[in-house]
Structure 1
Amino acid sequence: MIWNTMMGTSILSIPWGIKQAGFTLGIILILLMGILTLYCCYRVVKSRKTIPLIDTSNWEFPDVCKYYFGSFGQWSSLLFSMVSLVGAMVVYWVLMSNFLFNTGKFIYNFVHDINVTDIVPGTNGSTKVICPSASSGHPPQNMSVMFFSGNDTGFELFEEWWSKSRTVPFYLIALLLPLLNLKSPSFFAKFNVLGTVSVVYLVFLVTVKAAHLGIHLEFNWFTEDDFYLPEFRILFPQLTGVLTLAFFIHNCVITLLQNNRNQENNVRDLSVAYFLVGLTYLYVGVIIFASFPSPPLSKECIEQNFLDNFPSDDIMSFVARIFLLFQMMTVYPLLGYLARVQLLRQFFGNAYPSVFHVLTLNVAIVGAGVAMARYYPNIGGIIRYSGATCGLAFVFVYPSLIYVISLHRAGQLTWPALITHIFIILLGLANLIAQFLL
């Protein structure tokens, strides 16, 4: 259950994050961030036990923050929780626009018998890999060309009305805005299994593609050439920002573990879940990076959504996009419901005060998603900024401060414990600041 909940859109950006950090440093950071976030999540789970003489069995982590930090803890935890929820919804909107665009493009080309090979640098052969950003500056000698039969005007009209950034993000409004206004989107919770199916299929896709492409690795420890990246890069905080959200479950882990029949197994189950999530991220990230064909392309071509490195007419990528599109269309209303409950209940004491209040909130959230899909469709950037921001509070600061304060009140605080948790807080702060510097 925890693995299924934690695995999300971040998996699509892990290979890009490894590219930013360097192969060796990327692997090290995934391992270290997994251990660090697991420890902080463990502190969240144990936080209710630090409060004596009060029944905390029904408390969530924001309630614990309110107990220790008063109204500041209550409202700041709400703020950072909203950052994580709205940030995830914005990422979903960008990705749904991407998947819907590529799905429509695939169907149009198939129906009209159009043979399209994207006019971007790419490899030849049965397993084609492309470089949409053309960031390597080394296109292959045989540039791809586009062949199509039929009415040129019809194709141009389709291209005009089916644009990834100009039109498709707006089409999603008609599909999703009505769903956000439902009082209880419990119906969509039944489709949670799509998340597991999507991740399993992505692992399968990565394995098959790597088997066809082979391994393309050359270890350049500190220097960068035309096709290979150094193993350690100064851009590594971009990966830590992504990983903060990738391993983020701290604001709902107490609720998830309450369903355990044997509460004494909570720590074990949490550790197993983090191990499986870390293993999945490592596998997908390492395999995509290692098998990316460099040369003829450069590893710099790895996109923030690694599915974009496969052309729109790739059958396996088409199926993956279909799976992910339907999964996100069912999860998106659930995220909106959680955001509505947390925000409106705090301000109005009711999760559904009126249609006007709910519609206003949902229009604002949808507007943010459309604006990002239109002007800043970079999921890696959105994930790392929102991850580092909400992670500063829920992952690094609050769990550490609560633990230190509880030890101090019990007269058990030691210098090693104090220094260790201050260091964790400083790491979270440095992680956030670095996102805006690199």
Structure 2
Amino acid sequence: MAKANSKSLREGGGSPSDSVHEEDRALLSVDSASDDEDIVVHPGAPPEPRTPRTPNRVRFNLPPLDAETSGDDTAPPPPYQDAPLSGRRDRHHASIPLLTDIEAPSVTLAASPWSDDDDVQSWAERERQRPKSGLRSAFMNMANSIIGAGIIGQPYAFRQAGLLTGVILLVVLTITVDWTIRLIVVNSKLSGSNSFQGTVEHCFGKTGLIAISVAQWAFAFGGMIAFGIIVGDSIPHVMTAIWPNLSEVPVLGLLANRRAVIVIFVLGISYPLSLYRDIAKLAKASTLALISMMIILVTVVIQGILAPAEARGSFDVKLLTINTGVFQAIGVISFAFVCHHNSLLIYGSLKTPTIDRFARVTHYSTGISMLACLLMALAGFLTFGNLTQGNVLNNFPSDNTMVNIARLCFGLNMLTTLPLEAFVCREVMMHYWFPGEPFNMNLHLIFTSGLVVSAMMLSLITCDLGAVFELIGATSACALAYILPPLCYIKLSSRSWKTIPAVACVCFGTIVMGISLVQAVAKMISNEGGTVQCR
């Protein structure tokens, strides 16, 4: 129709301006008698591309891409690179607040935004090489982070809190930890930071960086001490069971001595492994660790049922309902469940990293871990009652073959797990004092040697594994699990009813930290419960 009108105008000798006015009158005149066929519709300007939304519905202002890339809906996502990142981000990364650069204290994942010369082939190759896992693998990684050395202290936690209170605490704390683990990912999206440390520093500046660094360092260093104690509690029992007269043999008799075993095995096995720069070389130990935990769990359940009457403890009303060590029990349970420093790592390793998929992994992992801890706690506590020790394996006799196999698995597992904690401590120190600096072999050797030797010395002078669990759980575990994640959420989000649970969680963590720390120190000073004998 428009072409016909133009042709008639040219034949009539009309000027171009007359044709424009004529068209305007035809389109805009209210009194026009033409029907719908006379209306000419011009397409408007193409709409500007909207800002993409993240899975938790938070909107970011991203830098515009070039016209060729932004107009192609099939354009591939940013490529991944394997270069490690430091804990603090540069300005280029700070300008793109997406979870493409995710790192944890122990393992680093990295990604970078688009570059102009990228093509589909190079992107596909980087995507193929990116460390990624499905829901099952992510579940195994998180469950392994939770079901660690702390599970051995769950019967002791029930002794401190009482049976009924212990069950309630385990369920409530599992739900709370499940929520705060997911909250770390939400906080990372809100802040645009690529790590737990970066989020806390974004929210509270230098003070926040100091707080998260101290909490992570103390938790990892406390784990090193606990692992040294476990090695001393486990290996000598196994050696004397295999070779009853070992203590009388020159030189080799040292393997029957607790302190000698700690020095020999920590310096001979754990220390060389701690000198690795790449933590991935110890990745195979994770599978063995989970298998070892399952062996220990089955052993405690079976041998607890078969335990002789003289080895069993007694019960009273307090032990069955509520005991005086409720806050200390919270610390022991918290030590077992804290895996918050690995949450962003596990999130970033998913093939499709979304909040919903990560929530599913978290629910499954914490749920299965809670059942394992509950089974261990009930099997150990209902067997030994008031005699339950911090390391429940020490309640069994030294000549029990099945228990000795579990001790061997546990001790060897701790020898390979101690370097992982040393790596965390070393990285926290390097990122705090020397951020962004190139690798320095002298600093690497000094930090590693100092950490391993100091943790070994502390494990030589203490035998009470329960006291270590209480202290670390009361301080760093409470800060990592109950205080810092909700505190960052309060800082990043708008004030509404949604922040009420976060405020309650911060108050809970602060109260538990203060009371349980005072109780644990007072217990050690007053020697309450008697001196724990090194066996």
Aligned with 2:278: secondary structure?
Answer: coil
Q: Cα deviations across residues 118-177 of structure 1 (Å, max 9, x unaligned)?
A: xxxxxxxxxxxxxxxxxxxxxxxxxxxxxxxxxxxx738679734544422221213322
User: What does residue 125 of structure 1 align with?
Assistant: none
For the pair 1:291 / 2:426, whether they are aligned, the reply is no
User: What does residue 47 of structure 1 align with?
Assistant: 187
User: What does residue 344 of structure 2 align with?
Assistant: 254
Q: Which AA in structure 2 matches 1:256?
A: I
Which of 200, 220, 240 does residue 105 from structure 1 map onto? 240
Which of 508, 513, 516 does residue 429 from structure 1 map onto? 513
Name whichever of 347-356 and 74-83 sits farther off: 347-356
User: What does residue 204 of structure 1 align with?
Assistant: 298
Q: Cα deviations across residues 378-430 of structure 1 (Å, max 9, x unaligned)?
A: 111112211221123221221122222223xx353578457534533433434
Aligned counterparts of 1:185 and 1:45: Cα–Cα separation in 2: 23
User: What does residue 89 of structure 1 align with?
Assistant: 224
User: What does residue 311 of structure 1 align with?
Assistant: 397
Aligned counterparts of 1:26 and 1:417: Cα–Cα separation in 2: 22
Aligned counterparts of 2:502 and 2:224: Cα–Cα separation in 1: 36
Q: Which AA in structure 2 matches 1:403?
A: Y
User: What does residue 355 of structure 1 align with?
Assistant: 441
Q: Residue 328 of structure 1: CA displacement?
A: 1.9
Q: Which AA in structure 2 matches 1:236?
A: V
User: What does residue 3 of structure 1 align with?
Assistant: 143
Contact 2:157–2:166 under 8 Å retained in 1: yes
Q: Which AA in structure 2 matches 1:65?
A: V
User: What does residue 168 of structure 1 align with?
Assistant: 261
Q: Which blocks of at least 5 consecutive residues in structure 2 are unaligned? A: 1-140, 524-535
Q: Residue 86 of structure 1: CA displacement?
A: 0.9
Q: Which AA in structure 1 matches 2:173?
A: M
Q: How does 1:186-225 map to 2 (within 5 A)?
A: 186-213=280-307, 220-222=316-318
Q: Which blocks of at least 5 consecutive residues in structure 1 are unaligned? A: 115-153, 223-228, 293-298
Q: How does 1:53-92 map to 2 (within 5 A)?
A: 54=192, 56=193, 59-92=194-227
Q: Which AA in structure 2 matches 1:180?
A: S
User: What does residue 397 of structure 1 align with?
Assistant: 483
Which of 303, 313, 331 does residue 241 from structure 1 map onto? 331
Q: Cα deviations across residues 272-295 of structure 1 (Å, max 9, x unaligned)?
A: 111111111000110121133xxx
Which of 417, 431, 436 does residue 345 from structure 1 map onto? 431
Aligned counterparts of 1:249 and 1:418: Cα–Cα separation in 2: 19
Aligned counterparts of 1:21 and 1:3: Cα–Cα separation in 2: 25
Coordinate RMSD, CA, aligned: 2.7
TM-score by length of 1: 0.78
Q: Percent identity?
A: 18
Q: Cα deviations across residues 344-378 of structure 1 (Å, max 9, x unaligned)?
A: 23322368743332222222222232222221121
Aligned counterparts of 2:291 and 2:437: Cα–Cα separation in 1: 32
User: What does residue 137 of structure 1 align with?
Assistant: none
Gap change, CA 1:429 and 1:301, over 3 Å in 2? closer
For the pair 1:20 / 2:113, whether they are aligned, the reply is no
Gap change, CA 1:350 and 1:311, over 3 Å in 2? farther
Contact 1:195–1:327 under 8 Å retained in 2: yes
Bigger radius of gyration = 2
Aligned counterparts of 2:468 and 2:426: Cα–Cα separation in 1: 21
Aligned with 2:182: secondary structure?
Answer: helix
Aligned with 2:262: secondary structure?
Answer: helix
Name whichever of 260-269 and 178-187 sits farther off: 178-187
Aligned counterparts of 1:7 and 1:415: Cα–Cα separation in 2: 30
User: What does residue 365 of structure 1 align with?
Assistant: 451
Aligned with 1:167: secondary structure?
Answer: helix
Aligned with 1:183: secondary structure?
Answer: coil
Gap change, CA 1:336 and 1:161, over 3 Å in 2? same
Aligned with 1:252: secondary structure?
Answer: helix
Which of 351, 355, 360 does residue 268 from structure 1 map onto? 360
Aligned with 2:332: secondary structure?
Answer: helix
Q: Which AA in structure 2 matches 1:39?
A: W
Gap change, CA 1:421 and 1:242, over 3 Å in 2? closer
Gap change, CA 1:49 and 1:328, over 3 Å in 2? same
User: What does residue 232 of structure 1 align with?
Assistant: 322
Aligned residues: 377
Gap change, CA 1:50 and 1:432, over 3 Å in 2? farther
Aligned with 2:317: secondary structure?
Answer: coil
Contact 1:19–1:300 under 8 Å retained in 2: yes
Q: Cα deviations across residues 285-310 of structure 1 (Å, max 9, x unaligned)?
A: 10121133xxxxxx322221111111
Higher relative contact order (CA 8 A, sep 6+): 1
Q: Residue 202 of structure 1: CA displacement?
A: 1.6
Aligned counterparts of 1:46 and 1:89: Cα–Cα separation in 2: 30
Q: Residue 211 of structure 1: CA displacement?
A: 3.5
Gap change, CA 1:329 and 1:217, over 3 Å in 2? closer
Aligned counterparts of 1:13 and 1:205: Cα–Cα separation in 2: 15
User: What does residue 282 of structure 1 align with?
Assistant: 374
TM-score by length of 2: 0.65
Contact 1:8–1:246 under 8 Å retained in 2: yes
Contact 1:165–1:373 under 8 Å retained in 2: no
Aligned counterparts of 1:232 and 1:156: Cα–Cα separation in 2: 49
